Structure 1
Amino acid sequence: MPAELANPSSAAPGTPPWLWPHVLSLEAPAVAMLWLAALARINDFRLMPGVLPGLGLAVWLIYLADRVLDTIGVPPQQLSARHLFYRRFRWPLVLAVIPAVAATVAWLALWVVPVGLLAHSLAQVLPIGLYLVLYSITGRRTRRWLIQAGVLVLLFLLNTLPLPATVMVPVSLLIAGATILVFRLNWDEQVGRFFRKEVAAGLLFAFGCTTWTRFHALGSEGPDIWAELVLLGLLFVSNLTVITAREEAPAGAPGSGPGSVRGAIALCVGALAAIQFAYLPATLVPLTWAVLAGLVGLEILWQKRRHLSPEAFRVWADVIVAIPAAVLLLMPEASSSATDAAACCL
């Protein structure tokens, strides 16, 4: 029997309809777009054309690349449902789907969204590239080759900027020296041990979702803008942590998921106390309660994990993260009435 058929979680024609958004990696773009729209709503920032589809397609592009890279050099029997799909359709994705999505994102970035937002978003390209290389490439030689190629491109782009030689030469030497040091000390091999993939992915995801609000506040960033990033980061990191814990540990094992979620819940409660004592702006109340509700939902889901397959657990974890954003969008005048009501309750 082929390995794909022997694997009960394969993305075969019998895959249930509720699992296909997960197999196609559509849940992450949907969650990102919901939270971007929710943040714009509670901050009274009007969304300009191209911003929502641009973020959704960019997130989908990253997930497509991540899933394809995850399947390289891995036996089929060790792959999950989503990874089996990307292994089976690797070349159509690489030759057709990914270039088409990348071209659409480039068109939106260059001709639709504001120029300032494009410059603001480019700051995320380097950390996303490093994430894909460090966490999605399993082969050490391939990983190092890609890092070297990326450094060469970075040095080339740096030398095309109108910078004086007194600045360009030291910076180039610093980048080259740091790359050599990373290889000599095997730091690229140690990143995954000290900075887990779930943490890196959750923070990058939160950074992308808050790009529009940070762009609006450019030049006048207050603690509320960065607090939004931290709060969303807690939710997304907790989401990925419980999913990983469920997939890596037996259904009955305690795992490391609950500790991360409960720590994030404690930090959210601390944020509400900081708002009460005016250490943080009251405008953060709706978001803090929404994140707290999502974290409580993840804790409840973890307690029910024995009754769910890993695929169903992952789907429900993503639904739980999306629901608070949808509630913020459906609430009338979320930026004013929700803030006043929550502040009164405190």
Structure 2
Amino acid sequence: MANSPLLRSVDALTAASIRPEHSHNPIIYWHLLSLDAPTVAMLWTWFIAESNGVKLPLTSILAMGVAVWILYATDRLLDARSTMDAQLERRHLFHQNHRSAFHAGIALASLALVFLVSCISPAALRLYVILAAPLIGYFVLIHLRRKSSKARSTPRLPKEIAVGIFFSAATFIPSVARNPVLRRPLLPAAALFGLACCLNCLFIYAWEHPFATSVPYPEAHPATRLALRFRAFLSILGIAGGFGLALYSSFSRGPNSAPWQLEVAISLSAALLLQLHFRRRHLDPAALRAAADLCLLTPILLVFTLHS
């Protein structure tokens, strides 16, 4: 699989577009401007719907992108305020140095989101409200704990795992809301996509927190440490699980199977993340972080197979 033309093409794109010496590379700024996660969210929201024959209005896809951008930009601004300068990553420093522009952007984006949300179907809106309540609570809890120097404990659900759960649920909601029959067939794919999103966060955490002691990642949540220990196994599980489900979907073609394109895209993302991990020393931190999100853009490689 490492020699697959699809993997070679994405690997070549990554290597050519995010070389460390290119400080003004647009891919780096795609990451620094917090546009990476919204791009991934919009692409998967559209791809999940399109592969299942669900026609989403443009407002639904845009609402996803705007909401995710507000969340990620706010998270990075709050991280920059609550973390010592020596521990800040380049994305946090960028948000801190341009905080006035980001504050204005978040305000404008919030106004746009109010309009876009008003165009979302009532069924999808109800599901989003159910998802948003714990998400907002978790978001507030995370940053209140970081702000307080006395709070040593960590939330029961680590951020690296929470992101995978919420991100996957959010991208599947529009399709499921418009066609409730898809809930059961898409559940395995949603779980696998959640795993791929978790792997994205786990690999990034490992790259940004190299350990020099006998105890790896001492500051991480116990669940995060356990997942980091088995991240290669989890990657293989995502790769094999995706292709296994794709084979089942291709042969069964029944009402209880998801489109094979969806499952192959998830499997390829897991494979690319694992491959990127093995080549991580060839990229600087900002490029590596951007490349991790590029690995989640695999639906682009399968668009031509839809409706064929």
TM range, normalised to the smaller chain? 0.7 to 0.9
Say if 2:44 and 2:171, in contact at 8 Å, map to a contact too. yes
Say if 1:235 and 1:291, in contact at 8 Å, map to a contact too. yes
Larger Rg: 1
Deviations 1:225-268 (A, max 9, x none): 322321211211111111111111279x9x64424322333433
Query: What is the distance in 1 between the residues matched to 2:149 and 2:204?
Result: 29
Query: What is the distance in 2 between the residues matched to 1:100 and 1:142?
Result: 35
Aligned pairs for 1:1-346 (under 5 A) are 15-94=24-103, 96-110=104-118, 112-137=119-144, 138-140=146-148, 189-191=153-155, 194-218=156-180, 220-249=181-210, 256=229, 257-269=231-243, 271-272=245-246, 275=249, 281-322=256-297, 324-333=298-307, 337=308
Q: Which runs of 5+ in 1 are unaligned?
A: 1-13, 144-185, 338-346
Query: What is the distance in 1 between the residues matched to 2:131 and 2:49?
Result: 20
Query: What is the distance in 1 between the residues matched to 2:160 and 2:82?
Result: 22
Query: What is the distance in 2 between the residues matched to 1:98 and 1:281?
Result: 41
- CA shift for structure 1 position 130: 2.1
Say if 2:247 and 2:260, in contact at 8 Å, map to a contact too. no
- CA shift for structure 1 position 310: 1.9
Aligned-partner residue type, residue 330 of structure 1: F
Query: What is the distance in 2 between the residues matched to 1:90 and 1:196?
Result: 27
Query: What is the distance in 2 between the residues matched to 1:236 and 1:40?
Result: 18
Aligned-partner residue type, residue 99 of structure 1: A
Query: What is the distance in 1 between the residues matched to 2:53 and 2:255?
Result: 18
TM-score (norm 1): 0.70
- CA shift for structure 1 position 136: 3.4
Query: What is the distance in 2 between the residues matched to 1:35 and 1:133?
Result: 26
Residues 123, 15 of structure 1: alpha-carbon distance in 2 compared, 3 angstrom cutoff? same
Query: What is the distance in 1 between the residues matched to 2:177 and 2:79?
Result: 32
Bigger drift between 50-59 and 117-126 goes to: 117-126
Larger RCO of the pair (alpha carbons < 8 Å, separation 6+): 2
Residues 308, 141 of structure 1: alpha-carbon distance in 2 compared, 3 angstrom cutoff? closer
- CA shift for structure 1 position 277: 8.6
Q: CA RMSD in A?
A: 2.9
Bigger drift between 37-46 and 227-236 goes to: 227-236
Deviations 1:254-306 (A, max 9, x none): x6442432233343355457658969934342211111111111111111112
Query: What is the distance in 1 between the residues matched to 2:211 and 2:281?
Result: 9
Residues 64, 136 of structure 1: alpha-carbon distance in 2 compared, 3 angstrom cutoff? same
